[in-house]
Amino acid sequence: MRSRDPYFDNAKFLLVTLVVIGHSWTLVPAGPVQSWLYDALYAWHVPAFVLITGYLSRNFSWTRAKLWGLVRTVAVPYVIFEGLLAWYRHTIGGVDFHHLWADPHWPMWYLSALFFWRLATPVFRRIPAPVLVAVVLSLTGGLWAGQIADAARIFGLLPFFVLGLRMRPEHWDLLRRPRLRRAALVTLGVILVAAFFAVGRLSTEWLYYRSRYSIMGAGPLDGIGIRFVVLMIGLAGALAFFTLVPRQQSALSVRGRATLEVYLCHGFVVVTVLYSAFPTWAAAHTVTALAVTTVGAITLSASLAAPMVADRLRALTDPLGRIGSAEGRARVASYRTPAGPLPHPRSTIPVLVGDKISHPAQGEGHQPVAAHADRAER
């Protein structure tokens, strides 16, 4: 039986924690420091999540068991949490939504994209030059892709998913060589510097892969060129991140088995804080607020991924999972015995990530922080 590699669990937990941090930073009014750090993070951490998702999806096939797993762990949670989060945001903030479920809102886009990416996996495993095909679809998708099922992001981020599909264990071994760590730090440093100079010059919208080029004020050729550069930056940052991920079994590894619970549930906490007095305080204490939200996000992610919490949240994130099944008992046992290599169940729970929170500035009710209006999610 294959042993579970803690490296991938470590990477998953670190990435989902970065998701929570990024969403928490939107509680701080957009300014030079906030925009700089936010853009530097979003330049690569979404591509990194999509890439590792592709790698963990490489065994997907159109069998009855795999298709049922896709429905159970992606489609069903999407239906549940798309409704729950929309209801909560309407209740607490008066936000109204149109085309619910057809047009995923806030973090739910990733479940929609993952559903279609995995369905397409057998195709991209068989066609020639799949990465090149995915790049072409990404570059041209910005010309026509729309918002239904978040098609724009499905095509925009497709190259990272397909690249993950094509990666093999020996590729990860190359990335994990200690001698590459200095180069990885330099790469992330260069991205950080580039993001500083890009603030005010390049819209953050490019990092979401969700809008047509024309909407962002670019012509077809300029849009394709910018999209290609953004793809290359995302790839460089993602590979640098994976080079720096620790390989050893640790508390990160245990929590890395609950990324879905963290991803789907942290938004309720962020939305609650959004409609509190915190944004008003943050507007007057920007740097301190960034530090507070960062620490709070790390704490929230670690708490939601704690075994006892994640086990209970799974009633919502995987309500159709077989209670008392051998797979379920093995998963619970793995939480309670973190030391040493563990049996690696078939990968059905997706690796996930999202983007900025939707603020109700554009016809969605009261806006607690007006400075966020120009960055509102639909």
Sequence spans of domains, the chain: 6-375
Contacts of 120 (CB under 8 A, 6+ apart): none
Sign of CA dihedral 212, 213, 216, 219: negative
Rounded to 10°, the helix 286-304/32-42 angle is: 40
pLDDT value, residue 149: 78
pLDDT value, residue 120: 97
Q: What are residue 343's DSSP bridge partners? A: 3
pLDDT value, residue 99: 78
Residue recorded with tokens 């896709």 = 70
pLDDT value, residue 362: 35
Q: What are residue 3's DSSP bridge partners? A: 343
pLDDT value, residue 105: 82
Q: Distance from first CA to last CA of the chain, Å, rounded?
A: 45
Q: Give the span between the Cα atoms of 255 and 257, in whole angstroms.
A: 5
Distances (CA, A) of 109 to 71, 104, 105, 350, 373: 16, 5, 6, 13, 20
Rounded to 10°, the helix 6-25/32-42 angle is: 150
Are the CB atoms for 190 and 197 separated by under 8 Å? no
Q: What are residue 37's DSSP bridge partners? A: none
pLDDT value, residue 289: 97
Give the pTM: 0.84
Q: Give the span between the Cα atoms of 149 and 74, in whole angstroms.
A: 13
pLDDT along the chain (378 residues), means of 10: 84 98 95 95 97 96 96 95 93 85 88 96 96 97 85 96 97 94 98 96 94 94 97 98 96 95 96 95 95 98 97 93 53 44 37 43 35 36
pLDDT value, residue 346: 35
Are the CB atoms for 297 and 24 separated by under 8 Å? yes
pLDDT value, residue 331: 52
